[in-house]
Amino acid sequence: MSIYSQLLKELQQVKLIAVSKTKPVSAIRELYDQGQRMFGENKVQEMVDKQAQLPKDIEWHLIGHLQTNKVKYIAPFVAMIHSVDSLRLLQEINKEAAKCQRVIKVLLQMHVAKEETKFGLNMSELEEILAYYIAPDSELKNVELCGVMGMATFTDDTQIVKSEFKQLHDIFLYIKNGYLFNKPSFCECSMGMSQDYAMAIDEGSTMVRIGSLLFGDRN
Ligand SMILES: *Cc1c(COP(=O)(O)O)cnc(C)c1O
């Protein structure tokens, strides 16, 4: 490893998204009182309900699959959407953000795991979205592409997990250096959960999404 990447790793401030899905507002409040401000939810209705009951300086991160017809409910307040997995969804977020006179930060969810079931873009879908986003006459003025997100395969085989995180980080660099070199806001690589966050940080994660380790197991 080069001294450059070693230093970056040591000095890097990895952001913690506290994943509060299925947990009550009292549990969120408890972490809030300890200073945590970034919380992640995977369901729109649950996020909307909690947002209404909690302090307004919380940054809400949508990390689960998002249906286009539900974007309008979170567009007024959501801080970042990690799970953009189609051009159609990106266009819908853009439309609803415009209605709220906002620019919504988004991450592109990439498919790197072996499992069929996990959502995410493949490389050709990624290229299509990027071409659309960087076009001089792009309509996508109310979304800001801030990085990529992904999940590793659920396995005890650390070699597989590590290689999938590396693959996601390589995609991050490919976009940053090849397409968005003039956009400093493209800087996030959202990867790592309770079981694998240390490996994700080793591979260059800038945001970890941690639930059960903080809040206990979900039923
Ligand atoms: C639930 C969830 C997490 C957190 O998982 P834990 O194993 O509880 O840390 C992270 N990312 C996504 C997309 C999730 O749905």
Q: Is ligand 1 within 6 A of the CB of residue 149?
A: no
Of 17, 63, 82, 153, the residue with max ligand 1 atoms within 8 A of its CB, to mutate for a pocket test, comes to 63
Tokens matching residue 124: 């050709």
Structure tokens at 39: 């919380």
Q: How far is the CA of 134 from the centre of ligand 1 (A)?
A: 31
Cα separation, 63 vs 96, whole angstroms: 18
> Can you say how many angstroms the Cα of residue 7 is from the centroid of all Cα atoms in its chain?
24
28 and 215 Cβ atoms separated by less than 8 Å: no
Closest by CA to 39, choosing from 215, 218, 216, is 215
Counted residue by residue, the chain has a size of 219
CA 193 to ligand 1 centroid distance, Å: 6
For the CA of 19, the nearest atom of ligand 1: 4
- Integer Cα distance of 29 and 181 in angstroms: 39
Q: Tokens for 11?
A: 């000095």
Question: What's the rounded Cα separation, in Å, for the pair 81 and 190?
Answer: 11
Q: In this structure, which residue's CA is closest to atom 13 in ligand 1?
A: 63
Each residue's pLDDT tens digit in the chain (219 positions)? Answer: 678 777 777 776 899 999 999 999 999 999 999 999 999 999 999 999 999 999 999 999 999 999 999 999 999 999 999 999 999 999 999 999 999 999 999 999 999 988 776 689 999 999 999 999 999 999 999 999 999 999 999 999 999 999 999 999 999 999 999 999 999 999 999 999 999 999 999 999 999 999 999 999 987
pTM, 2 dp: 0.95
Q: List alpha helices for the chain, DSSP H.
A: 3-11, 25-33, 44-53, 71-74, 87-99, 123-134, 158-178, 197-202, 212-215
Phi, psi angle pair for 214, to nearest 5°: -90, -40
Residue 54 · residue 26 · CB < 8 Å: no
Sign of the dihedral defined by the CA atoms of residues 143, 167, 214, 185, in that order: negative
* Alpha carbon distance 167, 149 (integer Å): 11
Q: Whose CA is nearest to atom 11 of ligand 1?
A: 209
User: Is the beta carbon of 63 within 6 A of some atom in ligand 1?
Assistant: yes
